[in-house]
Amino acid sequence: MNSTASVPVDAIAAELRGLDPAYSPTPLLNLPALANRLGVAQVLAKDEGRRTLGSFKSLGGTYAGLRALARASRMQVADLLGARPKGQPTLICASDGNHGLAVAAAARFAGATTRVFLHEGVPNARARRIEHQGAEIVWVPGTYDDAVDAAAAAACQGAGILVADTTDDPNDPIVCDVMAGYGVAAAEIRNEVDFAGHGRPTHVFIQAGVGGLAAAIAEGLSGWLAPPGHIVTVEPESAASVAPALAAGRPIRVKGDLRTSAEMLSCGRASAPAVAVLRRHGARAITVSEAELVDAVRLLSAHDLATTPSAAAGLAGAMTALAIPSHTSNLGLDGRSRILVLLTERALEGLM
């Protein structure tokens, strides 16, 4: 089979839309009132909460899961979906909720099984959504990173194929497939900005859990952003793993309980492939407080956008950068700046 690097993003998007029309592009929102509130020329928000399964994760986890099963069966993905052969290996992953949901969907499409490792901080409502896709849940004491370790150990023991969204191996093919799936969102952004006639963004503020989405957006928008063209990763102060990894040039395990209202960003170790891509594109990193995350959610709600602290983190980063003179100067932010953020998940009832 072809490597992910050789698969055009349009082909990935078409493959996903072939699964379900709900994989169609999500809207890019122009928010002039919010831009005026922040004192910048433009704020655009890519609303990934309207993505099927409720988040951008449905692009990466589903695409990577299907490719993993296809490789194991020595088939093309289309043939696998048509045959749904018996005896396929189980897909295994760790998750805070959304990645597991996406991997479970891949297995359901292909007629395979899934085992999702969740840490004890994941709300039961998220676990039920994953179970609804047909997955088995394995609860793990501790943090997301403990669930990552448990899933990897199970795969090493022969329980199935690990479909991770993070790894210490910069060339891990499955994690690269996950990031390639996320690249569909970057291609949509380019198309939607140009079609609507918006000015190209000068700054992208994007939340970073393990860094995969931020890396995919940095790669997909490379050479397209207007000057100064900064990619800025945003993390909660209590769970910042990408910032130290960018500084060190390699993933570093962050200690602590990683507790944050931005549950989907509660990750203690960045992904090596993501770090490599972000460093290559000169990405910057900032952290935000819990209060700043709450403020971003409230501000979006005032503009009729209900979301979560995880989804609002990019906006929290932009607000923080605009309020701190050193950030404003270092990032070249001013009244002419055009900011892009991604609202990465839908606010689900009971999960706020």
Q: Are 276 and 248 in contact (CB under 8 A)?
A: no
pLDDT at residue 348, rounded to an integer: 66
The per-residue pLDDT for 300 is: 95
Q: Token digits for 235?
A: 């993390």
Categorize the per-residue pLDDT at 142 as very low, low, confident or very high, splitting at 50, 70 and 90: very high
Q: How many residues does the chain have?
A: 352
pLDDT over 90 at 349, yes or no: no
- Give me the pLDDT at residue 2, please: 37
Hunting for tokens 């000057």 — which residue is that? Answer: 227
Q: Smallest Cα–Cα separation from 226: which of 245, 246, 198, 248? A: 198
| Residue 121 burial class via C-beta count within 10 angstroms: exposed 0-12, middle 13-18, buried 19 and up | middle
Q: What is the mean pLDDT of the chain?
A: 94
Position 34 pLDDT exceeds 60: yes
The pTM assigned to this predicted structure is 0.94
**How many C-beta atoms lie closer than 10 Å to residue 274's C-beta?**
35
pLDDT of 5 reads 54
- Residue pLDDT, tens place only, 83-107: 999 999 999 999 988 999 999 999 9
Bridge partners, 232 (sequence order): 205, 284
- 255 confidence band (pLDDT: 50, 70, 90): confident
Please give the full DSSP string across 253-264, using - where no structure is assigned.
Answer: PPPS----S-GG
Beta strands in the chain (DSSP E): 28-30, 42-47, 91-95, 114-119, 136-140, 161-162, 203-207, 230-236, 284-288, 338-343
pLDDT attached to residue 347: 82
pLDDT of residue 4: 52
